[in-house]
Amino acid sequence: MINGNKTAVRNGKVAVGAILLFWGFITILPFLWMFLSSFKTNAEISQATQNFLPNHWTLDNYKRLFIDSNFGVYLKNTLIITLFSFMGMLLNAMAGYGFAKFKFKGRGPLFILVLATMMIPGQVTMIPVYLILNEMHLTNTLAGIILPGLVGAFAIFLFRQFMSNISNSIIEAARLDGASEWYIFWHIIIPISKPVLAVQGILTFIGGWNAFLWPLIIANDQKYYTLSVGLQLLQGQHTSDYGLQMAGSSFMVIPIVIIFVIFQKYILQGFNVQAEK
């Protein structure tokens, strides 16, 4: 009886594994197809039926990204934006610490206000924010692309959650030793907060790398385009040049997948939303 049960469990596991394998293959198929197609010649890619693997491997599509198209410029802009979004992450961490460890007038209402901004859809704010940036003469500048997304309520919330759990006695001890509040933040709080900084750092990188809506609205000039806006332009200009499009997509997707695989253990643990009991 017990033996029979074990075999049934094992058979069940194999069946589940087979379903997952098939479904997983379908899930990953678009990426495989994208990556392999990016090495195909134009002649091959315009045939009605194609082999999965390229007949003649070529790097031509990738070369054209940088020669015919401005992917070098887009890459530079994307990296600048990503760099600045890390500064935004520090502002989020500061705010999270302020809400977690200080008592001050208006703390409760201000924090609720922060959380309330999470509910506001981007489409409602995009027109007024454009008008505000226009008044500040920041449209069509990198600063205009960076500023609206610099801080985020969800990140502030996560920093506050983590920092609330840091023991007060460490902070009090440092204060008695005469450390300034900023010294405490930089030399005690930031080092303790490494786990949350790791998760936020990866999410910040992914967010900056994938940024689309603000660069699309604020940048009129190709020299301020990011990779995703540039890729969207490339699709419009080279409608049927699928080799080039797949190279551009691979160029955006592959680095993120690599970073994700390296740091996955930090990201995957950050998704427990169960209500606190």
Does 67 contact other proteins by CB under 8 A? no
- Inter-residue contact 184 to 174 (CB < 8 Å): yes
Please give the residues from 178 up to 197 whose contact with other proteins meets the rule CB under 8 A: 181, 185
CA pair distance 254, 256, nearest whole angstrom: 5
Candidate segments 57-65, 94-102, 164-172, 191-199, binder of other proteins by CB under 8 A: 94-102
Does 263 contact other proteins by CB under 8 A? no
Runs of H (alpha helix) within the chain = 2-37, 42-45, 60-67, 71-101, 107-116, 122-135, 142-146, 153-164, 168-176, 181-184, 190-192, 194-210, 213-218, 227-237, 242-268
Residue 66's contacts (CB-CB under 8 Å, 6 or more residues apart) are 72
> Which position among 20, 43, 59, 262 is part of the footprint of other proteins (CB under 8 A)?
20
- Inter-residue contact 61 to 39 (CB < 8 Å): yes
> Which position among 4, 108, 121, 178 is part of the footprint of other proteins (CB under 8 A)?
121
Does 173 contact other proteins by CB under 8 A? no
Least Å from the CB of residue 104 to other proteins: 4
Does 43 contact other proteins by CB under 8 A? no
For other proteins, the closer CB: 127 or 173: 127
For other proteins, the closer CB: 83 or 118: 118
What is the DSSP-derived secondary structure letter of residue 104? -
> Which position among 103, 109, 165, 191 is part of the footprint of other proteins (CB under 8 A)?
103
> Which position among 13, 137, 187, 223 is part of the footprint of other proteins (CB under 8 A)?
13
